[in-house]
Structure 1
């Protein structure tokens, strides 16, 4: 592989104008596709194989239109103290609002009058108007949303407390200045690392081009492939981070080759052949982790994984082709002043990476215990992990959706915001028996009479729990209804979907871990020609990801330091968060493992003792790995400023996971374990060594190539 990538790098360097033109053309093509494609909508959400999904499918079949994907809104009214919503004055305001809503937009399907729909609380303090739209929340026009807001404001001005809820207010997540700050920090770190603005600008430029192509392609295909509005954001988050890192490693190796006296073209080829090999395998681990999300069998998660994996593939291809081409354009400007005068390595002065490696080798047990115990303490909150899907109840109290949620909860009971929809596959008599059975269960506030379909072969029943949607009591009620009724009775609704989704996530976690870790173990065994090194890498990853989950629970569920990260309302952790973090963090953790340990392996293969190989690996790679980790943390931290709670949580989780994995696991625990293992770390059974393919990550093929080149003059003379 090293020889092939060496030739690819040299070819890209020589044909740099053609290579640059091709990538710019791809960016322009993807940009045109994104600009002409319809706007992304909310991805359809389904959970195959669950009862809630079967109920939803039956509802679509037997009640055409009842399960439509159109947006909904609730205009919630609260009467002033001393009045009721049934009094003449408040009632007149509500009726005016209903009339205004019905004439406010042609996207409205229906507006339910609360006095006809019995949507007034028993104490008369609260009432709500239900509004149904023909399109989903992302497809509503600004005029429609404005008409909804103006209707509420008009009623508010007449003495009533009015709040708006429902997904009709849904919009694209607001981007904050955090992403820009993250990129700026990445630029500063690159300048400090390289001492050259040109060298620092190359990773940023290529990462932006790669993300531009990836995100534009996702945007262009969003409606065709039913990609959700958050898919491109997550792809941008991951693509930007790995794109900068991969380019960083190749540019750094190129500068090292120049320092050894090689020509620019030769240095570009060698950088691509050596560091590029590590980039390929690091990228493969990330792609395996993201594509492996398909085992969860949730279409939305699968599409997110494939889209992000595609962006990673683009980042790898750009690092292997566009970086060598741009190095050809950069000339001597890619080398900083310090390198021209002589680096610490050249003068024999040990750098920080060398000093740290020697410290770890002298005290491996102390470093190992400190790292493991420290991460173990941070991981403790993960034992209290509570999962769920976000609803308006977890939004900050400053949001009108949250205030509408609270008004409905106070006026109609905590369970009103999470009604259960029971679908009966049978005639009216079966439906009536089901109603009687459900009424006999504990934890129920109300049960509506059965509503049969036109054919009379199915019916709907609405059940209002006594407790809030995310409570354990409501989950128990769902299981009780399913246990007390037969197979022809199915429970669905947002609350039931949430419960089934969380259960599916839990059930898929172990198979997903086995698949991803197993495949990556095989891949790393091929790269490092060792059994214990990949095993150590996997165990270290598990430690860092559990610690990261502990930090997420402490901040987003317990509220520790919540104000520092913009968390205004605590709540359960999103159900997909653990498995998504496992996938992404595993891929990124293996990046640092590959980049750091391949240098150690390279030194060991070339005759150095195990301890010396550790020091050599840190001398060459620690500075660059540190810079790469800081850049990735900065990029992920930038997304904490997003308004979308899911993106905020994922950005925080990935940032702390990289912090723990790069600086505690890879930079401390890994060298400590390798120092304790000694030569045993690189042990591989002979039979397995014969079976595994030789991928030449260390560049042995390039050494043979050098020897062949050195012999050519002698052959000519002969």
Structure 2
């Protein structure tokens, strides 16, 4: 590998115009692709196969109108309660918002609150009306009964009279009277009976009409009672739910869209906020779904971090040209890596953290990798080496270490596909691609640009000093031995010397410090961020805070429950079934309200909005989600309906649980990989164990500090943590992968020098000191640069990135200065020669990777050129 990189560096130097042109073409092509094909990013994280996703897919198929995104706007009256004019103005603004494209429905809080507030009055009035109707119906029933009794008595009298008259007719006929005479003799009596019959029939008709009216009234009364009972149950299900605060100072309006909120155009978001904010005397706070801006990934805080890195480079390298090269290379790598990521957003769904992660890593490793090569090249030039040879040798030696270091980061990031979480796999692969580009830039573009830079990477004063020193050394016999003695003398001073003189103290202090910092990690709780994690001055935070203050924390993250009802229900039965389910949902601890919100046309799919007691990231809400799912079996037994949970709150719980389950196996993979790679590099058993143990210590300390700051709120004002809560659910697994790769970078750069000194014959404890002395300056600068870049993201406009930037900055700081530059040399000093022990059989099996390119340096280093004035070799 070293030889191949040596030749690649020489080729890039000789064909620097071609190499530069090719990279410019690549950057232009990627930039054009990003501009032409970039799509929409999202902050809604989904995991295929989870209950949340299955229920959401079913909801999209059965009830598409209820599957779109939701947002809210909180209105606050500046002078106490809302006036009627302000209520009308808010209602008008919401009506105009409802007419916008992609808006499915808008809830006017004042109308909805009037409905809720009037429900008890309507129910009371309904009960009174029903009671009055029941009284009227009872009175009518009494009258009907009396009328029926009278009709029956009249009928009986007429029947008796008719029977008596018929008997009289038979008697007259028996006396021999003609039929006409009989009829004439009984005509008056028969006419009286017939008249009575006619009156009876008229009375029966009146009775039948009254009976029909009474039956219809009873049916209406029964329907009224049923409707009243449903209305009363609906009112009970909405108890605790408000859209206008009790003091009348705030109102919350909900907006439902036809698509995901992440897919909404920026112009629509801005128009909604503009319309909502147009009411005089009323402040409007739009929720996070409307205000989050994931279109940009670089802000002022990140620029400050890069500026600090530039200052460190200037101090270390001495010239603007030399300091600018690592920055320029890092920007080139980021342009290609992050630009390529943006170009894929139209085809691959990815979160806003994905390009941000690529930017963060691309800047950090891009600057550091280029710094290692530039520093090596600069030192070689100062010792008189030909520029062409120096660029090639620096690429073959330091570039070889850069390739290995980059490989560890890439492997760790690519391993993020192992947990099987699509959004995490996309993050890992895109970040790995950006790091790969940074490595390619360092070993191809950097050598070419170094050819253009020539001697300008070294200041005139430093050139003059080098010229005098080289002239004196070349005139003095045995100066190599003198240089070695001076090198050993220098290594006996400074931090490395102190650590190796007091190894037990150094080990104990390092372990105690890192262990103390790691203690809070035992309380780590995972969740996805909510509006409470936004900056205090942001509209999203104001909306979240006002919602929690006026309407309860649960309103900031409702839980969506989808029920599958039995087939064959009519409208009334389906409505009653919904309320039966809502009653059982409301019985779950931690649930304030459970309200039916939608029903499909076939009355098979019902949607419920469940309001928990606390916010979406709280432990009680997580438990409520679990309890609601556990309640499903009882609901199925009692109602015949099956339920499932979806929505962002439930999805957050599922994702956090899935990530927590994936954390141990991923950590095992990373630790196993660490042991294997370091065994290959250093041909030792104890050094890999030491490196891995140090990585776990720095990782635990980083986790502990994150919990203390972002979950417990320690130093919250310093880091702008206004609402401490659960830690970002995918932060631990990202931190493990990234910090592992970066920790192995520093392990390679500091331990390889120790190994090379030991292999060249130095006594083991002296090799630790000299190796430390050779690497300390550049590792210190590299660590400060990386910490500065990561620290710039602690105050990023994307709050989701902030704890990750903090964890990486602190993790690198602790790993570089406490683990690699204190713990490792101290333990290496205590181990002595044993640190490099390797069984003979294993040594024969392991290939010699020669990461530092020591063999290449011995076989390719040619005669040195004196650095006098302006050597012709450097003027080229």
Shift of 1:708: 12
Does 2:42 align with 1:42?
yes
Per the alignment, residue 408 of structure 1 pairs with 547
- For residue 292 of structure 2, the aligned residue among 147, 152, 170 is 170
Shift of 1:590: 0.8
Shift of 1:37: 2.6
Separation in 2 of the partners of 1:144 and 1:317? 41
How far does the alpha carbon of each residue in 1:347-394 deviate from its partner, in whole angstroms, 9 at most, with x for none? Answer: 926557953222222111011111111122222222333322111233
Per the alignment, residue 663 of structure 1 pairs with 817
Shift of 1:557: 2.6
Moved more, 91-100 or 285-294: 91-100
Shift of 1:506: 1.2
Per the alignment, residue 729 of structure 2 pairs with 575
How far does the alpha carbon of each residue in 1:382-426 deviate from its partner, in whole angstroms, 9 at most, with x for none? Answer: 233332211123334433333333433344433222222222344
Shift of 1:562: 2.6
How far does the alpha carbon of each residue in 1:610-631 deviate from its partner, in whole angstroms, 9 at most, with x for none? Answer: 1122122122211000010011
Per the alignment, residue 75 of structure 2 pairs with 77
Does 2:358 align with 1:363?
no
Separation in 2 of the partners of 1:671 and 1:341? 32
Q: Is the contact between residue 137 and residue 169 of structure 1 (CA under 8 Å) also seen in structure 2?
A: no
- For residue 348 of structure 1, the aligned residue among 486, 504, 509 is 486
Q: Is the contact between residue 388 and residue 574 of structure 1 (CA under 8 Å) also seen in structure 2?
A: yes
Shift of 1:136: 4.5
Shift of 1:593: 0.6
Tell me how many residue pairs correspond in the alignment. 702
Inter-CA distance 263–400: structure 2 relative to 1 (3 Å threshold): closer
Q: How does 1:210-609 map to 2 (within 5 A)?
A: 210-336=333-459, 337-338=461-462, 340-342=464-466, 348=486, 350-351=489-490, 355-427=494-566, 434-449=581-596, 451-486=598-633, 488-609=642-763
Separation in 1 of the partners of 2:67 and 2:665? 32
Q: Is the contact between residue 41 and residue 229 of structure 1 (CA under 8 Å) also seen in structure 2?
A: yes
Name the SS of the counterpart of 2:486 in structure 1: coil
Separation in 1 of the partners of 2:854 and 2:299? 47
Name the SS of the counterpart of 2:362 in structure 1: helix
Inter-CA distance 396–205: structure 2 relative to 1 (3 Å threshold): closer
Separation in 1 of the partners of 2:844 and 2:768? 26
Q: Is the contact between residue 248 and residue 628 of structure 1 (CA under 8 Å) also seen in structure 2?
A: yes
Separation in 2 of the partners of 1:406 and 1:96? 25
Moved more, 463-472 or 118-127: 118-127
Name the SS of the counterpart of 1:41 in structure 2: coil
Shift of 1:101: 2.1
Per the alignment, residue 712 of structure 1 pairs with none
Q: Is the contact between residue 514 and residue 697 of structure 2 (CA under 8 Å) also seen in structure 1?
A: yes
How far does the alpha carbon of each residue in 1:225-249 deviate from its partner, in whole angstroms, 9 at most, with x for none? Answer: 2233332222111001101111111
Q: Is the contact between residue 431 and residue 450 of structure 1 (CA under 8 Å) also seen in structure 2?
A: no
Does 2:107 align with 1:112?
yes
How far does the alpha carbon of each residue in 1:155-197 deviate from its partner, in whole angstroms, 9 at most, with x for none? Answer: 2x1x445432251222235743222222222222122222233
Q: Is the contact between residue 437 and residue 485 of structure 1 (CA under 8 Å) also seen in structure 2?
A: no
Name the SS of the counterpart of 1:424 in structure 2: strand
Separation in 1 of the partners of 2:310 and 2:75? 51
Inter-CA distance 646–449: structure 2 relative to 1 (3 Å threshold): closer
Name the SS of the counterpart of 1:511 in structure 2: helix
Gaps of 5+ in 2: 116-241, 470-481, 637-641, 864-876
Separation in 1 of the partners of 2:376 and 2:735? 30
Shift of 1:318: 1.2
Structure (1 or 2) with the larger CA radius of gyration: 2
Shift of 1:310: 0.5
Q: Is the contact between residue 278 and residue 598 of structure 1 (CA under 8 Å) also seen in structure 2?
A: no
Moved more, 334-343 or 30-39: 334-343
Q: Is the contact between residue 560 and residue 645 of structure 2 (CA under 8 Å) also seen in structure 1?
A: yes
Inter-CA distance 295–584: structure 2 relative to 1 (3 Å threshold): same
Could you state the TM-score of these two structures normalised by the residue count of structure 1?
Answer: 0.91
Separation in 2 of the partners of 1:330 and 1:509? 46
Separation in 1 of the partners of 2:80 and 2:405? 67
- For residue 620 of structure 1, the aligned residue among 761, 774, 791 is 774
Shift of 1:577: 1.5
Separation in 2 of the partners of 1:134 and 1:459? 18
Q: Is the contact between residue 583 and residue 594 of structure 2 (CA under 8 Å) also seen in structure 1?
A: no
- For residue 800 of structure 2, the aligned residue among 630, 646, 652 is 646
Shift of 1:438: 2.6
Name the SS of the counterpart of 2:761 in structure 1: coil
Cα RMSD of the aligned pairs, angstroms, is: 2.8
How far does the alpha carbon of each residue in 1:441-477 deviate from its partner, in whole angstroms, 9 at most, with x for none? Answer: 3222122248442344433222222333333222222
Q: Is the contact between residue 448 and residue 462 of structure 1 (CA under 8 Å) also seen in structure 2?
A: yes
Name the SS of the counterpart of 1:128 in structure 2: strand
Does 2:841 align with 1:687?
yes
Per the alignment, residue 151 of structure 1 pairs with 275
Shift of 1:498: 1.7
Per the alignment, residue 102 of structure 1 pairs with 98
Name the SS of the counterpart of 1:109 in structure 2: strand
Gaps of 5+ in 1: 710-718
Shift of 1:252: 1.5
Q: Is the contact between residue 422 and residue 491 of structure 1 (CA under 8 Å) also seen in structure 2?
A: yes
Shift of 1:496: 1.6
Shift of 1:527: 0.9
Inter-CA distance 612–468: structure 2 relative to 1 (3 Å threshold): same
Per the alignment, residue 224 of structure 2 pairs with none
Q: Is the contact between residue 3 and residue 701 of structure 1 (CA under 8 Å) also seen in structure 2?
A: no
Q: Is the contact between residue 526 and residue 729 of structure 2 (CA under 8 Å) also seen in structure 1?
A: yes
Moved more, 272-281 or 166-175: 166-175
Name the SS of the counterpart of 2:255 in structure 1: strand
How far does the alpha carbon of each residue in 1:633-692 deviate from its partner, in whole angstroms, 9 at most, with x for none? Answer: 111112223222112222222111111110110000010111111111111122222222
Separation in 1 of the partners of 2:851 and 2:437? 21
Q: Is the contact between residue 791 and residue 809 of structure 2 (CA under 8 Å) also seen in structure 1?
A: yes
Shift of 1:543: 0.9
Name the SS of the counterpart of 2:665 in structure 1: helix
Q: Is the contact between residue 175 and residue 641 of structure 1 (CA under 8 Å) also seen in structure 2?
A: no
Separation in 2 of the partners of 1:82 and 1:288? 59
Shift of 1:259: 4.2
Inter-CA distance 106–495: structure 2 relative to 1 (3 Å threshold): closer
